[in-house]
Amino acid sequence: MNPEIISTTTEEYKELIESLKKDGFEMMVDLTVVDWFRKKEPRFEIVVQFLSTSKNSRKTVKVFVNDEDLTIPSITEIYPSANFYEREAYDMFGIVFEDHPDLTRILMPDDWEGHPLRKNYGSGRIPVQFKNAPKVD
């Protein structure tokens, strides 16, 4: 099944989601981010998948976030299932969801620095065995 793709802007994003909910898309099934580092401007694209069980159809909403503040309104009020997904996006990409009730890291430890799924975050090795081991380049 090919979902219908809707591109929007951060300003119209929340209104669009509200209209989708009214349209009978009961479930927000997935929210994720694609980092187009040095490939596209602006850099981060948010991809949200919606599912309507009554109409048996899917829709994909794509929205680019401003590079300066990386902020987008949260949709947890409309779809509570966005809670964990937005926290994951914050944790992994550093996207700030405005008005999210509890925007904390979800998978990484609280004092982790950086956002692991960004393209400029190396997947390198962390020398865990030796305390205070010198940095390996």
Partner 1 sequence: MKNNKIKKSKLSNFKNKLDFWATNSEEGGWNISSTDEGSQKMLENENEKQIKIQTGTEVVDDFVIDEDTSDDERMIVNMGPQHPSTHGVLRLQAELEGEVVRRVKPIIGYLHTGMEKTGEELNYFQGPTNTTRMDYLSPLFNELVFSLTTEKLIGIEVPKRAETIRILMTELNRVSSHLVALATGGMDIGALSMMIFGFRERELILNFFEKTTGLRMNHNYIRPGGVAADLPDGWQKDVEEILKIIPEKLKDYDDMLLDNPIWKGRLQNVGILTTEECFAYGVTGPSLRASGYSWDLRKSQPYSGIENYEFDVPILTEGDVFARWRVKVLEIFESLKIIEQAMNNMPKGPYKVQDKKITPPPRKRLDESMEALIHHFKIYTEGFKVPEGDAYVAVESPRGELGCYIVSDGSAKPYRMHVRGPSFCNLQALPVIMTDSPIADAVAAIASLDPVIGDVDR
Residues that bind partner 1 (CB under 8 A): 1, 3, 26-30, 32, 34-35, 39, 47, 49, 51, 53, 56, 58, 60, 76, 79-81, 83-85, 92, 101-102, 104-118, 120-128, 131-132, 134-137
CA distance 49 to 60: 5
Name the residue nearer to partner 1 (CB basis): 68 or 109.
Answer: 109
Strand 96-98 with 71-73, pairing: parallel
Using the Cα atoms of residue 56, residue 54, residue 72 and residue 76 in order, give the sign of their dihedral: negative
Rounded to a whole number of angstroms, the minimum distance from the CB of residue 16 to partner 1 is 18
Rounded to a whole number of angstroms, the minimum distance from the CB of residue 117 to partner 1 is 6
Name the residue nearer to partner 1 (CB basis): 10 or 105.
Answer: 105
Rounded to a whole number of angstroms, the minimum distance from the CB of residue 69 to partner 1 is 18
Rounded to a whole number of angstroms, the minimum distance from the CB of residue 75 to partner 1 is 12
Burial of 65 (0-12, 13-18, 19+ CB in 10 A): buried
Rounded to a whole number of angstroms, the minimum distance from the CB of residue 4 to partner 1 is 12
Please answer whether residues 31 and 92 qualify as being in contact, where contact means their C-beta atoms are separated by less than 8 angstroms.
no
CA distance readout (Å), 36 to 44, 65, 122, 130: 6, 11, 15, 35
